[in-house]
Amino acid sequence: MPTSPDDIDLPNIDPECLSPVDPSVLRSPDDPGHPPRILLLYGSLRKRSFSRLVAFEAERLLKFHGCETRIFDPSGLPLPDAEDKSHPKVQELRELAMWSEGMVWVSPERHGAMTGIMKAQIDWIPLSVGAVRPTQGKTLAVMQVCGGSQSFNAVNQLRVLGRWMRMVTIPNQSSVAKAFTEFDDNDRMKPSAYYNRIVDVIEELVKFTWMVRGRSGYLVNRYSERVESAEELSKRVNQRSI
């Protein structure tokens, strides 16, 4: 685990104020022991995508806290139902969702909502694979970038989706106003209250992930599902019938 922000190229961090999360305070006796596995999704295909740049900043902070990360590139991902689930990009996304123990979703706000690219990624992640839910009990942090003044429409929608996917969505969130003014010529985020909030969000996500991942099986164990067979559960949550 890094001992200094300099190890991960965090030039805007005050090293006196940022400390790695202490897993010993949070992890359960059944913790798997490996670094937390975090998947990051962003919602724009623009050449200079600010949601992607925020995801990169978040990834650096996650690595500082000792996490293993993956960023999914949505380029080439088909629209939901336009292709079969065997499409390579769909398979890649689903495998990453299964691999992860927590996620970061970063979307631009477009027409007062998350982007279609963001929603398509979430829609391709199944509610169930057989009787297993790939997202249930995993942690989630939501963030957005705005072209104008600060808004929270996209993060509010992402929270609804996180709840629907049965994820543990952390209380903190980030919304970066006028994102085009918040990055320098090297595509690094400038020092600001917006950047500090991203630092807060990532630190909180890491804490919740350590706290939840060894306990998620118990936390999401439900009476209503214990009385169902695996076959009945699979039929009930199967989206093909919709």
Q: Rounded to whole angstroms, how far apart are CA atoms 205 and 103?
A: 9
pLDDT at 240 over 60: no
- Residue 26 in any domain: the answer is no
- Residue 10 in any domain: the answer is no
Q: Rounded to whole angstroms, how far apart are CA atoms 134 and 241?
A: 19
- Residue 189 in any domain: the answer is yes
- Residue 16 in any domain: the answer is no
Beta bridge partners of 110: 113
- Residue 225 in any domain: the answer is yes
- Residue 15 in any domain: the answer is no
104 vs 5, more confident: 104
- The pair of structure tokens assigned to 164 is 């629907």
**CATH number of the domain where residue 51 is located:** 3.40.50.360
pTM of the model: 0.89
Sign of the dihedral through C-alpha 90, 95, 101, 104: negative
Instruction: Count the helices and strands in the chain (H runs, E runs).
Output: 8, 7
Residue-number span of the structural domain to which 101 is assigned? 33-241
- Residue 7 in any domain: the answer is no
pLDDT in tens, 90-119: 999 999 999 999 999 999 999 999 999 999
- Residue 37 in any domain: the answer is yes
pLDDT at 128 over 90: no
pLDDT reported for residue 221: 83
pLDDT in tens, 137-169: 999 999 999 999 899 999 999 999 999 999 999
Domain tally, the chain: 1
